[in-house]
Amino acid sequence: MDLLQDILENGHEKKEFNSGMTLKSVFGRQCRYDLSRGFPLLTTKKVFLRGIIEELLWFLKGDSNIKYLVDRNVNIWDEWAYKIYKERNVKLKKLLTYEEFIEKIKNGSANSPFVRKWGELGPVYGRQWRKWKTSDGRVVDQIAWAINKLKKTPTRKHVVISAWNPEYIYEMAKSREAAMVLPPCHTFFQINVNDKKELSLQLFQRSSDVFLGVPFNIASYALLTMMFAHVLGFKLGEFVHTFGDVHIYGNHMDQVKEQLTRKPRPLPRIKLNPKVKNIDDFKIEDFELIGYNPYPPIKGEVTVVGGF
């Protein structure tokens, strides 16, 4: 809420380079969440936690096809896949509508040519986290490496996981088709364990849609912090959220002002299944949200700008 107010009061006006969308922006901010005091899921508007959890599990699978999400009625990434489909089929006389496109993804098998081609987003977050390809042909699993490193030497300072791979950023990629659907917004994160055996995680986010995207990012990375602490046997520390450019899009201004009239309520808690010992074994049923009492949702359109 303070960050929203800060942007309204101190933000500089910008325009997205390829859409003309106006926004208000500040640069270089940080929020900290002590996870021992509750789970930082916004209470000033209801947040779709099931979608957040499913997206995080999708990342951790190393998946980059929206089929997994669409099958679970999670539509966070649908617009990006449809955008690729439209851009690459401009010469077709009749394109599928967005609704027809998603229905075809949902009804098709994971191995069907249409799903494999048009559901695929390219080397996005999960692929970089779990299947980073090296110049000598190896594949690096950054998540597995981090867990192994934290088990052996938890106080080391180099446990960093990156989604920013210049080879796939479209201005540096060999082709637009080989590039990521968009340069990663949540760029990299670092894990720290202190002498009290508290595990904390800091995310650097280069670009942040503070009304729609950031509430998801807060919950997702707070949950990821909890999952790391859980499987490694550490206490909960902080989720530290560091921002580069943090902004409010012009078509979200009224929604932000409505949200700022609401008084935050007590934070909920999340309980993880104690039987899960491996980060790859988590399923949606292993997360229990307790004591969540939010205000109603506030709707806003996703701004699919597709660039830097």
Q: Measured on CA atoms in the order 54, 55, 56, 61, is the torsion positive or negative?
A: positive
Catalytic residue of the set 47, 140, 185, 253: 185
Tokens 């490193």, residue located: 149
3-state secondary structure at position 138: coil
Q: Decide: 266 and 39 in contact? Cβ < 8 Å.
A: no
Helices and strands of the chain, counted as H and E runs: 10, 10
Element (H, E) at 115: helix 113-118
Q: In a 3-state reduction of DSSP, which class is residue 6?
A: helix
Distance of alpha carbon 153 from alpha carbon 150, whole angstroms: 5
Please tell me the total number of residues recorded for the chain in this structure.
308
Sign of CA dihedral 62, 39, 76, 171: negative
Strand stretches in the chain, DSSP E: 12-15, 22-34, 132-133, 139-140, 160-162, 186-193, 198-209, 235-249, 269-272, 287-290
Whether 185 is catalytic is yes
Q: If we measure between CA atoms, which residue out of 286, 284, 221, 225 comes closest to residue 57?
A: 284
Catalogue the active-site residues: 185
